[in-house]
Amino acid sequence: ALDRLRSLQREILARYAPLVKPGGKMAYVTCSPLPSGGEGQTRWFLEGPGRDWTLEREERLGPPRQDTDCFYVAVLARRGSSGA
């Protein structure tokens, strides 16, 4: 099941990232407590289909720092100008 979910996460990143205009930003957020579902997916994206993107910020939230479920957040910026 984990392999299927990782494949789905990659498909979502690769399919929807081109919809962001140059100079725009995208947040990748997952509730996976596993690095392979968070940091690993971000690295895969930046080294593969997201070579024109940069990582602005990433953070893992949840126990023990916060009283909540585990979350991973990455803010990615697409290189280039928006022309605005």
Angle at 15 between CA 32 and CA 4, to 5 degrees: 40
Q: So what's the pLDDT on residue 2?
A: 86
Give the Cα separation of 11 and 7 in Å (integer): 6
**What confidence category does residue 24 fall into, taking pLDDT thresholds of 50, 70 and 90?**
very high
Query: How do residues 30-84 score in pLDDT, each as one tens digit?
Result: 988 888 999 999 999 999 999 999 999 999 987 766 566 788 999 999 998 755 4
Mapped onto helix, strand or coil, the DSSP state of residue 7 is: helix
Q: So what's the pLDDT on residue 1?
A: 85
* pTM score, whole prediction: 0.84
